[in-house]
Amino acid sequence: MAHARTAAGAAVGLVLSGAIAVAAAAPALADTVPSPSSSPSSTDYPPPEVPTLTAQIFQPECDGDVPYLRYAVTATGTENTTVTITWLNPSGDDVVQSGLPMSGRVLWPGAVVDASGAPLDWPGWRLEDGVWVEGDEFDWVRPSVDVKLEVNPELTMTAAYPPSSPSCATNPPGTVPPEEPGEPTSGSTVPAVAPAAAPPSSGFLPQTGAGVAGLVAAAAALVAAGGVAIGVARRRRTDH
């Protein structure tokens, strides 16, 4: 009986010893399990591209006596494919032209054309009783005007009203363009300046036409007198 109890106690001791050994080994096993990888931080990705807008072409032009603005823009960092052009009025409502392609040309505000593109009206002029008179509601677009180009970024530039030329007029026919401060326009007149006379050289005075004629007459008279004297001398020799 005592032997049986001893065997049972030994078995219990073995079980407890095994449990203790397993418990002691558990932390070591836990240390060997790989931990899940951490999610990448935001610094692992490149920063987003900053949107930019540049103008390859920004050129006022005259075509068929009509003023236009020709443009071409390139945008980065945006998916927008159209441009909005805003003519900035410093003292009133702006003129907005939206949904335009990234390159092309637009009419200058105040310019009007017919279905064929022929000019009917020009900014800065109005037609009264069949006569073109300077001044209208679009005076602010000349001689220059600020223009804002918008895609997603935006860009503001200054456009000068295109000048007239012998082949293209940006003003009504038969009119003089409004005078720009500081410089004459193509339709204004400039007083002619007489060329300065050349300084007289040493010992010589320039002769007028009358003076030259007088010298020629005097020389002819001397020649005639010489001829008379020669004739008289010959006659005297003949008489002797």
Tens of pLDDT, residues 50-80: 889 999 999 999 999 999 999 999 999 999 9
pLDDT at residue 224, rounded to an integer: 47
Burial of 143 (0-12, 13-18, 19+ CB in 10 A): middle
Contact assessment for residue 100 and residue 82, using Cβ atoms and an 8 Å cutoff: yes
pTM for this entry: 0.57
Per-residue pLDDT averaged across 118-130, rounded? Answer: 95
Among 78-87, 149-158, 178-187, the minimum mean pLDDT is found in: 178-187
Residue 23 phi, psi dihedral angles, 5° rounding? -65, -40
User: What is the torsional sign of CA 155, 157, 161, 163?
Assistant: negative
Residue 160: C-alpha distances to residues 24, 62, 117, 144, 230 (Å): 88, 12, 22, 4, 82
pLDDT in tens, 158-172: 999 999 999 999 999
The per-residue pLDDT for range 72-112, each reduced to its tens digit, is 999 999 999 999 999 999 999 999 999 999 999 999 999 99
- Give yes or no for residue 19 having a pLDDT over 70: no
Distance, in Å, from the CA atom of 135 to the CA atom of 140, rounded to the nearest integer, reads: 10
Contact 172, 122 (CB under 8 A): yes
